[in-house]
């Protein structure tokens, strides 16, 4: 009988060791699964944020392209208003339309840039003519033929300008 008890005791010890090993394996598996789930959740959050950012950028790009197509209409209305037509009711209607379109585009973030006297910047301006000028107007904008526009820090259209140029050699003669 002693032998049986000894064998029984050995079986009990092995059973306890295997239960302990199974429990450790379960805990390790749970820990690995938890870590995997946490990584998947983080990856999904990053994916969601990235796609949201891409959607916003695409939306701004499309808005910019649409606004770019509307700008010539704004130019036409400005020319009509500057023409000095005698029909006051027509001019008043055009002025209202111009102001409404301009107001909407400004609310969306469209900005006209460049004033007479600003420094010429080849990144923003297209020089269509160069005129002799005094030293104070050297490399400065003398007149604007077509406004330039920026939308969301992106130049939609360069300003077409006439630039002054001071020539020391020519001014001494």
CA distance 141 to 149: 16
Per-residue pLDDT at 12: 52
Q: What is the mean pLDDT of residues 123-127?
A: 95
Percentage of the residues of the chain whose pLDDT score is greater than 90: 64
The strands making up 125-132's β-sheet, listed across from edge to edge, are 125-132, 159-165, 141-146
CATH class of the region 112-173: mainly beta
Task: With cut-offs at 50, 70 and 90, classify the pLDDT of residue 90.
Answer: confident
Neighbours of 52 (CB within 10 A): 10
By DSSP bridging, strand 141-146 and strand 110-113 are unpaired
| pLDDT for residue 74 is more than 80 | yes
Show the tokens assigned to 132: 């002799």
Task: Give the model confidence (pLDDT) of 19-38 as tens digits.
Answer: 778 788 888 888 999 999 99
pTM recorded for the entire structure = 0.66
pLDDT for the residue numbered 28: 87
Contact 125, 141 (CB under 8 A): yes
DSSP secondary structure of 30-85: HHHHHHHHHHHHHHHHHHHHHHHHHHHHHHHHHHHHHHHHHHHHHHHHHHHHHTT-
Q: Dig out the tokens for 13 from the structure.
A: 């010890």
Dist CA 100 CA 102 (whole Å): 5
Locate all alpha helices (DSSP H) within 83-172, ordered by sequence.
88-108, 168-172
171 has a pLDDT exceeding 60: no
Give the Cα separation of 37 and 74 in Å (integer): 55
Is pLDDT of 125 > 60?
yes
Question: Is the pLDDT confidence value at 126 over 90?
Answer: yes
């Amino acid at each position: 009988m002693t032998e049986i008890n000894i064998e029984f005791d050995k079986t009990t010890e092995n059973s306890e060791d295997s239960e302990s090993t199974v429990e450790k394996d379960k805990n390790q598996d749970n820990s690995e699964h938890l870590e995997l789930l946490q990584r998947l959740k983080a990856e999904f959050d990053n994916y969601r944020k990235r796609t949201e950012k891409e959607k916003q950028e695409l939306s701004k790009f499309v808005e910019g392209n649409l606004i770019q197509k509307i700008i010539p209409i704004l130019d036409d209305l400005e020319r009509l208003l500057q023409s000095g037509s005698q029909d006051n009711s027509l001019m008043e209607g055009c002025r209202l339309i111009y102001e409404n379109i301009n107001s909407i585009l400004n609310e969306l973030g469209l900005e006209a840039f460049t004033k007479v006297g600003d420094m010429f910047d080849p990144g923003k301006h297209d020089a269509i003519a160069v005129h002799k000028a005094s030293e104070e107007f050297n490399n400065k904008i003398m007149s604007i033929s077509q406004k330039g526009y920026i939308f969301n820090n992106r130049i939609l259209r360069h300003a077409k300008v006439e630039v002054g140029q001071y020539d020391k050699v020519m001014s001494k003669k």
